[in-house]
């Protein structure tokens, strides 16, 4: 009897593993293809980036109106939340390897040639985040791949990982920052970025939303300012800069060793 039970359990386990192995990867190549897709995780065809769905926080409430003869009409209307429209975002920052593929495949030529000696000094492999890219370079990559840079509000909502009112992407405990972020690593000029995904992800499964490199966003820093928003802090910053609400900026033609980017796709498209 025991042997028969063990045999049944083994068969159930094998069947389960077969079904798990049969789960198909959802591969997407354009924003249009996202219509009707409900998968929480997808792979973007052009650059092979893994992306996750950031859910909408819009809610429905009952609203009473009246028709032309004064009869009440009750209908559900959508009330915007912090993230009224769902979107997909790259799980990691765009890597050196992905950006090199973009340059080779697209024929894009940066206004100022990229100094690869500097790139490899601080991001030494194809698995490290791409740095020394202008806002225009990041935007060109996003358009080539069929995505876009995140709006600042989208970036912050994704960075919070589903937490509300917390200082960091993981919560309020600053003592565990080293588990989630690469920061404070100048080391007398010998510091570097880390390969993407080297630390714990936030609640949405996103890596390096703070630390490693600042990330370009689509938005202007302010209406009377020519800079573009960067968010998230870098490997050269202290923990106070890793707070989710921290904002920074750089000018669109600027490049440096602490800035990179990641992409999003979905609706609405950010105004760039």
- CATH number, domain of 110, equals 3.90.1580.10
- Decide if 136 is inside a domain: yes
Residues 76 and 91 in one domain: no
Residues 70 and 169 in one domain: no
Residues 165 and 69 in one domain: no
Cβ neighbour number for residue 255 with a 10 Å cutoff: 18
Q: Report the domain count for the chain.
A: 2
Residues 107 and 75 in one domain: no
Integer Cα distance of 214 and 247 in angstroms: 10
- pLDDT of 2 higher than 80: no
Residues 109 and 239 in one domain: yes
Query: What is the residue whose two structure tokens read 């990330």?
Result: 215
Six-digit token string for 76:
């559900």
Six-digit token string for 120:
């490899």
By mean pLDDT, which of 109-118, 145-154, 227-236, 259-268 is the weakest?
A: 259-268
- Decide if 175 is inside a domain: yes
Mean pLDDT, residues 78-107: 90
Higher pLDDT, 81 or 94: 94
Angle in degrees, CA 151, 78, 246, rounded to 5: 30
- pLDDT of 172 higher than 50: yes
Query: What value does the mean pLDDT of the chain take?
Result: 86
CB 196 within 8 A of CB 93: yes
Residues 205 and 138 in one domain: yes
Residues 75 and 148 in one domain: no
| Domain span holding position 215 | 87-266
Residues 116 and 64 in one domain: no
- Decide if 241 is inside a domain: yes
Mean pLDDT, residues 191-207: 96
Residues 140 and 231 in one domain: yes
CB 212 within 8 A of CB 234: yes
Q: What does the pLDDT look like over 10-36, one tens digit per residue?
A: 443 433 433 333 357 899 989 988 887
Residues 103 and 72 in one domain: no
Q: What does the pLDDT look like over 223-269, one tens digit per residue?
A: 888 899 999 999 999 999 999 999 999 999 999 999 999 999 985 44
Residues 69 and 171 in one domain: no
pLDDT band at 59 (very low <50, low <70, confident <90, very high): low
Mean pLDDT, residues 182-200: 87
CB 128 within 8 A of CB 192: yes
Indicate the pTM of the whole model. 0.83
Six-digit token string for 180:
């989630």
Residues 74 and 171 in one domain: no
- Decide if 196 is inside a domain: yes
Question: Nearest CA to 185 among 257, 125, 79?
Answer: 257
User: Residue 145: what are its φ and ψ, rounded to 5°?
Assistant: -80, -10
- Decide if 245 is inside a domain: yes
- Decide if 30 is inside a domain: no
pLDDT of residue 76: 57
- Decide if 124 is inside a domain: yes
- pLDDT of 50 higher than 90: yes
- Decide if 12 is inside a domain: no
């Amino acid at each position: 009897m025991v042997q028969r039970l063990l045999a049944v359990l083994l068969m159930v386990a094998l069947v389960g593993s077969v079904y798990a192995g049969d789960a198909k990867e959802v591969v997407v190549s354009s924003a249009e293809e996202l219509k009707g897709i409900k998968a929480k995780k997808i792979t973007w065809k052009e650059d092979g980036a893994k992306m996750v769905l950031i859910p909408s926080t819009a809610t429905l409430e009952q609203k009473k109106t009246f028709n032309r003869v004064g009869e009440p009409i009750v209908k559900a209307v959508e009330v915007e939340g912090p993230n009224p429209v769902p979107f997909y975002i790259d799980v990691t920052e765009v890597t050196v390897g992905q950006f090199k593929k973009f340059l080779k495949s697209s024929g894009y030529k940066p206004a100022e040639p990229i100094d690869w000696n500097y790139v490899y000094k601080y991001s030494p492999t194809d698995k490290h985040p791409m740095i020394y890219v202008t806002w225009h370079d990041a935007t060109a990559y996003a358009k080539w791949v069929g995505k876009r840079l995140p709006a600042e509000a989208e970036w912050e909502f994704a960075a919070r990982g589903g937490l509300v009112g917390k200082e960091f992407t993981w919560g309020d405990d600053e003592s565990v920052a080293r588990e989630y972020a690469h920061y404070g690593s100048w080391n007398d000029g010998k510091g570097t970025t880390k390969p993407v995904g080297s630390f714990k992800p936030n609640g949405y499964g996103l890596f390096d939303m703070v630390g490693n490199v600042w990330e370009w966003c689509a938005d202007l820093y302010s209406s009377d300012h020519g800079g573009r928003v960067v968010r998230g802090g870098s490997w050269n910053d202290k923990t106070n800069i890793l707070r989710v609400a921290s904002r920074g900026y750089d000018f669109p033609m600027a490049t440096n060793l602490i800035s990179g980017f990641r992409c999003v796709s979905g609706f609405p498209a950010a105004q760039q």
